[in-house]
Each structure stands twice: as C-alpha cells, then as structure tokens.
Amino acid sequence: MEDKKLKKGSKFLSYVLRHKPDEIGLELDAQGWALVSDLIVLTKDRKPQLTRKLIEEIVAGCEKQRFTLNDSGNKIRANQGHSIEVDLELAPQEPPEVLYHGTASRYLGEILSKGLVKRNRHHVHLTKDKSTASNVGQRHGKVVILKVDALGMYNSGYSFYVSKNGVWLTDEVPVEFMEVM
C-alpha cells in the first residue's frame, strides 16, 4: 500500500475516531470503539474509502500506535487524544520520576503562566523520552522541551494514566512541577 494512502487514511481515522464520528454518521460506544464494518460502509462513497485491509495496515503500520483493534478485529478505537467524551478504561498508575512534553516556543509564555492544560482534549500528553517530546513539539513550530516532575505531582495527589501506546496522560501540569530544558 502506498504511503500517501496510509497517511491520508490514518489522518481520517484520527479525525473520526477522536473528534467527529458524527461527520460520517459513525457511532462510538462509551469506550470509543467503532465497528470496522461501519467504517467500511460509511466511507464506501468517500475519500479515503476504507477497507478492512487498509484499516489493518494503518493500525499495524502506525509507528505512534494511534489505534487499536479489539481481539476479534471487528472493532477499532483511537488510543488517546479524544476531544469527545470516551472512557478508555485507564487505571491510575505511578509515573516515572520525570516525564517530558514538547511544544512550540510561541506557547511558552502562556504555559509558564497557566501550566500545561488539556484544553479541548481529555488529558495533557507526556512521554518518557526527550526525543519523542521533541518530535511532537516540532509539528507546531520551534520546539521547546518541558521537563515535568511527574513523581512530585503524583506524590501531591495528581493522577497519571498510560494509554495503550505508552503515552502518559494527566489532567494538568501546574507550573511549579515543570522546567524548561
């Protein structure tokens, strides 16, 4: 399968599974699962037209592991990043001592005054390694890496979760728990 078709299909899946399922008439259950068969039928006359093969290739080939198929392969959901209400059934976990967040330098002033906030998403996304944080931040401009005292937050009562693809999630990161690298 050509990379362009996979990329376009992946972006489309992110859009409908994380933000706008109603745009194509897709129904998600409370945990964010959609029937693969519904996606195929609802995109029959659209671009990109999703097939079972394309969906499986997108899930298998996505290095960021954005999607999960259930054990029987008949349902799919996004692993995190939703702006719509879903319950990903994540259990609170103790984070590592330090986590990182990549952002664009143009957002730094607001972040240093308000902290990291989830805005229209369910959580703030953090990672265990600086290179991933850098890659994420580069998408939005000149990158700045924030070092987060995750264990300090946890010990102060903040909750952390880990999505299926290894992204650490929390509701907010107050200014006192971060430093600019």
| Model pLDDT, residue 6 | 87
Reduced to 3 states (helix: H, G, I; strand: E, B; else coil), residue 25 is coil
| Model pLDDT, residue 158 | 97
Helices (H) and strands (E) counted in the chain, each on its own, are 6, 11
Read off the pLDDT of residues 102-159 as tens digits, 9 standing for 90 and up. 999 999 999 999 999 988 777 899 999 999 899 888 887 899 999 999 999 999 999 9
Residues 160 and 166: beta-carbon distance below 8 Å: no
For the segment(s) 3-78, the CATH number from 2.130.10.10, 3.30.360.10, 3.40.50.300, 1.10.10.970 is 1.10.10.970
Q: Where exactly are the structural domains of the chain?
A: 3-78, 99-180
Reduced to 3 states (helix: H, G, I; strand: E, B; else coil), residue 121 is coil
Residue 134 burial by Cβ neighbours in a 10 Å radius (0-12, 13-18, 19+): middle
Q: Does 1.10.10.10 match the CATH number of domain 99-180?
A: no
| Model pLDDT, residue 1 | 46
* DSSP code string of 128-142: SSHHHHHHHHHTTSS
More confident residue, 91 or 122: 91
The widest CA-to-CA distance across the chain, in whole angstroms, is 52
Read off the pLDDT of residues 13-60 as tens digits, 9 standing for 90 and up. 999 999 999 999 999 999 999 999 999 999 988 888 899 999 999 998
Residue 2 has pLDDT above 80, yes or no: no
Give the mean pLDDT of the chain: 91
Q: What is the gyration radius of the CA atoms in the chain, in angstroms?
A: 17
* DSSP code string of 30-83: TTS-EEHHHHHHHTTTSSSPP-HHHHHHHHHH-TT--EEE-TTSSEEEESS--S
